[in-house]
Structure 1
Amino acid sequence: MRTAAALLIAAATAACSPQGPGETLPVAPAAEATGPAVNCLGLTRFNTTRIRDDRTIDFVGGAGSQVWRVTLPNRCSGLKAAGTFTYETSLSQLCSQDIIYPLQQIGGSWQRMGGCGMGPFVPVTLAK
């Protein structure tokens, strides 16, 4: 299986949950859709990610000129705080039905937190 990070360690408890009553999430930078959502994105189409909050990830490629925004169907606790995540796929693409795992550094080693479901990839232009 292919992985985004070589660090795959024992998983902690599940971290995905719907937004609770009265709980607000930080607002991700505004973005305008530039085309229809796609279910999968080739791993070579992006070279970095920007975790905007516990539900929003921008996948960036083309020297920053191409951005696909994924809005997770549920809040992924600790994703923004972790600042990084890993995933496993046997394909050469990441898809909306795949699971991501926030990574947390504990005492010099990386721990994989509970998995969170992805969503579709929407091509966007970010507001300046």
Structure 2
Amino acid sequence: MRRPISTLAATALTIGAGMALWINHSSARDRVPVATPVGKPEFCIPHRQITESLVRSDSVIDFKMRGGKVYRVTIDGGCPGLGFEGRFGYSTSLDRLCASDIITVLYVSPIASGARCALGPFQPVTLAPAEK
């Protein structure tokens, strides 16, 4: 009879520890660097020029381009799970990624797809230096 109780207690501790890690992981991803707009937002950017996509939170993605330009996209209402997972996929038949194109949050384990969300305009920005 004591064995199931101790197993239940161990399981509860494991679940609690996992939740604490998730909370810490999530809060670390929610640090969005300050960005200063440098021009008018653009509706589309050439996807072949994207060198890096940086998921900053559930609602902010920074796209680094060849040549050093950075575009910030803000997703209205956020995209559930995006900030935590830090990865997304998209499909387009054009040679560019556009505002209102749909991205899909990709989960690491199990390999599955999550929320689908529309992008906003691509605002050219200058990012503040990273804090140490």
Q: TM-score over 0.5 for the alignment?
A: yes
Q: Which residue in the other structure is 2:118 paired with?
A: 117
- Radius of gyration: which is bigger? 2
* Alignment-derived partner of residue 96 in structure 2: 93
Number of the residue aligned with 1:52: 56
Q: Which residue of 1 is the match for residue 36 of structure 2? A: 32
AA aligned opposite 2:86: G
- Equivalent position amino acid for 1:53 in 2: S
Q: Is the 8 A contact 1:74 1:117 kept in 2?
A: no
Unmatched 5+ stretches in structure 1: 1-25
How many pairs does the alignment contain? 101
Q: Which amino acid aligns with 2:52?
A: T
SS at match of 2:42: coil
Structure 2: distance between partners of 1:106 and 1:44: 28
* Secondary structure, counterpart of 1:90 in structure 2: coil
Given candidates 73, 95, 100, the residue that maps to 2:76 is 73
Counterpart code for 1:73: D
**Contact 1:43/1:94 (8 A) holds in 2:** yes
Which residue number in structure 2 is paired with residue 84 of structure 1? 87
Match of 1:41 in 2: 45
Query: What displacement does 1:103 show?
Result: 0.3
Q: By percentage of residues, which structure has more helix?
A: 2
* 2-structure distance, mates of 1:55, 1:113: 15
Counterpart in the other structure of 1:5: none
Identity %: 37
State the TM-score, normalizing by the size of structure 1: 0.74
SS of the residue aligned with 1:75? coil
Counterpart secondary structure, 1:44: helix
Question: For 1:35 and 1:78, how far apart are their aligned partners in 2?
Answer: 30
Q: Which runs of 4+ in 1 moved over 2 A?
A: none
TM-score, normalised to structure 2, is: 0.72
| Structure that is richer in strand per residue | 1
Q: Which has the higher contact order (CA 8 A, sep 6+)?
A: 1
